[in-house]
Structure 1
Amino acid sequence: MFKRPASIRARLLAWIGLPFTALALLALASSHLLLTRQINDTFDDMLLNAAKRLERRIYTVDGELHINMHYFSVSTLGSRGQGKIFYRIREVGGPMIAGFPGLGDAPGHLEKPRFFDVAYAGNDLRAVAFTFPFERSRQRTEIEVIVAESKEARYILANEFMLTLSGLMAVGGLLAITLALLAIYFAFAPLNAVGQALRQRSPNDLHPIKGEAPREIQPLIASINQLMQRIRRSIESTQQLNADVSHQLRTPISELRALTELSLKASQEPETRANLAEMRRIAEHASHTVQQLLKYAKTRSELLDDTRLEALDLTEICQLACTQTATGIYQKNQELAFDMAPGQAYQVLGDPIMLLWLIVNLIENASVHAGGQVPYRGSIDLALAREGDAVVLTVSDRGTGVSEATLSRLTERFYRDNPHAPGSGLGLAIVEQIATAHTATLHLANRPGGGFRVAVAFPALRESLPDAPSRAS
């Protein structure tokens, strides 16, 4: 399986979005480290200030140390009522004055305040410890103070900062992506305009693309114009080849048929006449095949110039087709009926010669193949009808029909469902090409009561639709 290539828009978004995302993640990680450090330093300073306030509350009574806690409570500005405070005050080398005896000691010596992490009563704490001198009964002693605070407030504050920062970055990212999409849209606008102009063109419009365009896409436009010029030359060569083939093949085949007819009139020997009759049949088949091949080549949709299409009334085309085929139809003891609603317009946009070929091919196809292995002796019905915004041409017979398994193959070149009848196998292939060139829909089906039915739905001209304003209005 081939991997579907990514669009240029997706690649640009990836090149813009991925570095931005990487930088945003790096910025978040750096911000988290810096904010955590700054928050910890701020909380440590407040914790130390809270611990030093205890220093001023120690006093002596009859030589014993006491602490005044009536008008003082140990707290920090950052706890916001969410943390827990533990403390311990004791005389160095002596008894504890107040606090929690199980609170762990600080590591190392306390020449200066020391911050450390400690666990107590299932809490993860940040603690500060320091010592200060104290006069007791004219004796100098050292007092050790440890104040510890749980880390919930630090975590909550850091998380709030990071959440706010992440939200701002997310908004900035969305804004950047929006601006990138707008920039990409406006950058691709000239390409989209060229693509829209090409999509609105007829498949046969091979004129160069004109108009101002940014320098970046001018080489692309030049390449497209060169390609269309080569295609136009190829089509012109094909059309010229068709004309040459038409002249070079039809003339000798016609001469061969005429010579065969003269020989048949001059010869009386049965064997010779049988051979000449077979030659005449082969020449007629070759002539018919050449004509069908030329029609097939000329009806290719890419050879049809939409600018030369004209408004036509299918009624007139159908009447002309009936006139051309009526003699052959009646000679085979068949009937040809044309049905249409009186006073109804059946106008379509098309090429009159191609549409005539289409109708004649459908009538002749029904005449030759409707009976299957035996000659057909029934009626061939030609009808025009309006179905919504479409003009539907129907050609049907009351013959044997075709196998349901072969319906989808009837428009293949040189495929013949009935090998017992003469033909080139190109009739319905030509019909399909002409229908495609006129943006019509071809539908092949067996009739419920027996026989075969071909329906071609053409887009109706706007002027011919009911209640549509005319060009003069």
Structure 2
Amino acid sequence: MISIRTRLLVWIGLPFVLLGVAALIVGNLLLSRQINSTFDAMLLNAAERVERRVYSVDGELRINTHYFSISTLGSRGEGKIFYRIRDAQGKMLAGFQGLEGPPTPVEEPVFYDTRYAGNALRAVAITFPVQRSTQRSTIEVIVAESTETRQDLINDFLLTLSGLVAAGGLIAVSIALLAIYQGLAPLKAISRSLRRRSPNDLEPIEAAVPREVSALVASINGLMARMRQSIHNTQQFNADVSHQLRTPVSEIRALAELTGRQCEDAAARRNLQEIERIAEGAGYTVQQLLTLAKTRHELVDTASLAPVDLGEVCRDACTEAIARIYQRGQELEFHDNDSGSRVMADAIMLRWLIQNLIENASQHAGGGQPYRGTIHVAALHRDGKPALRVSDDGVGVSPDELQHLTERFYRASPETPGSGLGLAIVDEVARAHGATLELASPPGKGLAVTVTFPTAPAAG
């Protein structure tokens, strides 16, 4: 798409170019006409001066060659002058015999173009009466001048005019560029303001702009308002769905558990226990869906992130998960290798990330069998940036499955309990914080998930 600056330059520059070309064409016509008219007048004056040099002696015409000369002001000593003087009978009195005469009878001064001795000439032919003894006669005078002088003069004028037009065009384009720059400044200011914002900052644009731009700003603000309302409605819908689903699922679970205690039929009791298990999984999935909805990276306002201690958040998440881990016969080990590392984060979402990583290792590290090993949580530095790593000593994941682990509802071992949303939530939280997520599963070493965060800016 062509930019506004380019379009303005084209629409401003193109008329100037056309006007410049038109000015050169019109200037060439006017200058050629004026210069040719001036040169023709000087050529006629030179021919008329010959009349004063002709006299009669004993009936014979003579020319006063002592004072005879032909020149024009336009020749400047550079052009060539040719002439021919004949009487009415065609007898040559002086000049060049081969000089061609006019194409029409000479009753008035006749101007015409001709060639002689390889020269392009502009000639004038006139006749005037002379007294020849007792008779009156006429003589014909032709004076011709080479045309290169007048053409050189026209070219000089055109060259000067072209320089003036080019200089005027450059000045006009420079002024146009300055005007375009100043005119587009409000749009650039709005663009810079939007680029500096976080991707999720949907606050209205507050800027003093010209009337022509105010409509655009109003449209953008209206779009942002509709997006904020849509996001709010989506979040509210997710919360309502979660609340409305968790309550009946909890009731089903409680009812199945209570009925199972009172039931004496073994088969029915097993069915009730299965219902209780399914209800528990459904409740967990609903909770995970709500967490996923809250952690969608495009809905997180990164402007609200604050510096938090990564090691401290890891320690709190481990403290919250340790009882559940011990009940499953597993161990939880925390290493704070780089105490004091601070990252720009939402502390609650960061704790959700760590908890989901711990829960994922707890449920899936053993593959199809319950895991009985240790889950390692570490806060560390990686390539100069703060990072956290959660790893296990389980069976690991094949390389083909590794790239699918962050997909929603994907589970490497479908027979194990879980919602298939844990690593999807981790991926969303990492993207919301501008962090990179790396999953590795070397043969025989389980799965290791590393989240590397951008360095938090120094205080002050």
TM-score w.r.t. the length of structure 1 is 0.84
Give the deviation of 1:318 after TM superposition: 1.1
- Is residue 236 of structure 2 the alignment partner of residue 260 of structure 1? no
Count of equivalent residues: 460
CA distance in structure 1 between the partners assigned to 2:446 and 2:61 by the alignment: 122
Q: 1:123 to 1:386 in 2, by over 3 A?
A: farther
Moved more, 66-75 or 106-115: 66-75
User: Match for 1:439 among 434, 437, 442?
Assistant: 434
User: Match for 2:344 among 345, 349, 361?
Assistant: 349
Please say if residues 396 and 445 of structure 2, whose CA atoms lie closer than 8 Å, have aligned partners that are also in contact.
yes
Structure-2 residue corresponding to 1:153: 149
Residue deviations 1:366-417 (CA, integer Å, cap 9, x gap): 4444455555565544333335673233334465655556655443333445
Structure-2 residue corresponding to 1:190: 186
Structure-2 residue corresponding to 1:93: 89
Structure-1 residue corresponding to 2:406: 411
CA distance in structure 1 between the partners assigned to 2:168 and 2:12 by the alignment: 13
Structure-2 residue corresponding to 1:467: none
CA distance in structure 1 between the partners assigned to 2:391 and 2:53 by the alignment: 116
Give the deviation of 1:149 after TM superposition: 2.3
User: SS in structure 2 opposite 1:107?
Assistant: coil
Q: 1:143 to 1:393 in 2, by over 3 A?
A: farther
- Is residue 100 of structure 2 the alignment partner of residue 104 of structure 1? yes
User: SS in structure 2 opposite 1:424?
Assistant: coil
CA distance in structure 2 between the partners assigned to 1:400 and 1:98 by the alignment: 123
User: SS in structure 2 opposite 1:288?
Assistant: helix
- What does 1:35-434 align with in structure 2 at a 5 Å threshold? 35-58=31-54, 65=61, 67=63, 74-80=70-76, 82-137=78-133, 139-267=135-263, 269-306=265-302, 308-329=304-325, 335-342=331-338, 344-372=339-367, 380-387=375-382, 390-397=385-392, 402=397, 409-434=404-429
RMSD of the alignment, in Å? 3.3
Q: 1:61 to 1:338 in 2, by over 3 A?
A: farther
Give the deviation of 1:144 after TM superposition: 1.6
Q: 1:363 to 1:145 in 2, by over 3 A?
A: farther
Q: 1:282 to 1:82 in 2, by over 3 A?
A: farther
**Identity of counterpart residues, as a percentage?**
59
Give the deviation of 1:312 after TM superposition: 0.6
Give the residue type in structure 1 aligned to 2:87. Answer: E
Give the deviation of 1:461 after TM superposition: 2.0
CA distance in structure 1 between the partners assigned to 2:56 and 2:48 by the alignment: 18
CA distance in structure 1 between the partners assigned to 2:394 and 2:45 by the alignment: 110
Structure-2 residue corresponding to 1:15: 11
CA distance in structure 1 between the partners assigned to 2:62 and 2:371 by the alignment: 130
Please say if residues 396 and 444 of structure 2, whose CA atoms lie closer than 8 Å, have aligned partners that are also in contact.
no
Please say if residues 446 and 453 of structure 1, whose CA atoms lie closer than 8 Å, have aligned partners that are also in contact.
yes
Give the residue type in structure 1 aligned to 2:306. Answer: E
Give the deviation of 1:348 after TM superposition: 1.4
CA distance in structure 2 between the partners assigned to 1:320 and 1:331 by the alignment: 18
CA distance in structure 1 between the partners assigned to 2:161 and 2:289 by the alignment: 75
Q: 1:406 to 1:63 in 2, by over 3 A?
A: farther
Moved more, 16-25 or 71-80: 71-80
User: SS in structure 2 opposite 1:462?
Assistant: coil
Structure-2 residue corresponding to 1:466: none
Give the deviation of 1:269 after TM superposition: 4.9
Give the deviation of 1:357 after TM superposition: 0.8
Moved more, 189-198 or 266-275: 266-275
Q: 1:126 to 1:367 in 2, by over 3 A?
A: farther
Residue deviations 1:313-368 (CA, integer Å, cap 9, x gap): 010111122233344545556554444434x4211122111011112222333444
Unmatched segments (≥5 aa) in structure 2: none
Give the residue type in structure 2 aligned to 1:160. Answer: D
Please say if residues 396 and 443 of structure 2, whose CA atoms lie closer than 8 Å, have aligned partners that are also in contact.
no
Please say if residues 339 and 383 of structure 1, whose CA atoms lie closer than 8 Å, have aligned partners that are also in contact.
yes
Moved more, 156-165 or 30-39: 156-165
CA distance in structure 2 between the partners assigned to 1:286 and 1:140 by the alignment: 135
Q: 1:242 to 1:95 in 2, by over 3 A?
A: same
Please say if residues 416 and 425 of structure 1, whose CA atoms lie closer than 8 Å, have aligned partners that are also in contact.
yes
Unmatched segments (≥5 aa) in structure 1: 464-469
Please say if residues 390 and 460 of structure 1, whose CA atoms lie closer than 8 Å, have aligned partners that are also in contact.
yes
Give the deviation of 1:125 after TM superposition: 2.2
Please say if residues 389 and 459 of structure 1, whose CA atoms lie closer than 8 Å, have aligned partners that are also in contact.
no
Give the deviation of 1:162 after TM superposition: 1.9
Give the deviation of 1:106 after TM superposition: 0.5
Structure-1 residue corresponding to 2:30: 34
CA distance in structure 1 between the partners assigned to 2:391 and 2:67 by the alignment: 112
Please say if residues 384 and 391 of structure 1, whose CA atoms lie closer than 8 Å, have aligned partners that are also in contact.
yes
TM-score w.r.t. the length of structure 2 is 0.86
CA distance in structure 1 between the partners assigned to 2:408 and 2:218 by the alignment: 37
CA distance in structure 1 between the partners assigned to 2:303 and 2:82 by the alignment: 94
CA distance in structure 1 between the partners assigned to 2:444 and 2:95 by the alignment: 108
User: SS in structure 2 opposite 1:459?
Assistant: coil
Residue deviations 1:164-204 (CA, integer Å, cap 9, x gap): 22222222222222222222322333333333333333344
CA distance in structure 1 between the partners assigned to 2:140 and 2:440 by the alignment: 105
Give the deviation of 1:433 after TM superposition: 2.0
Residue deviations 1:281-306 (CA, integer Å, cap 9, x gap): 32232122111110011112354344
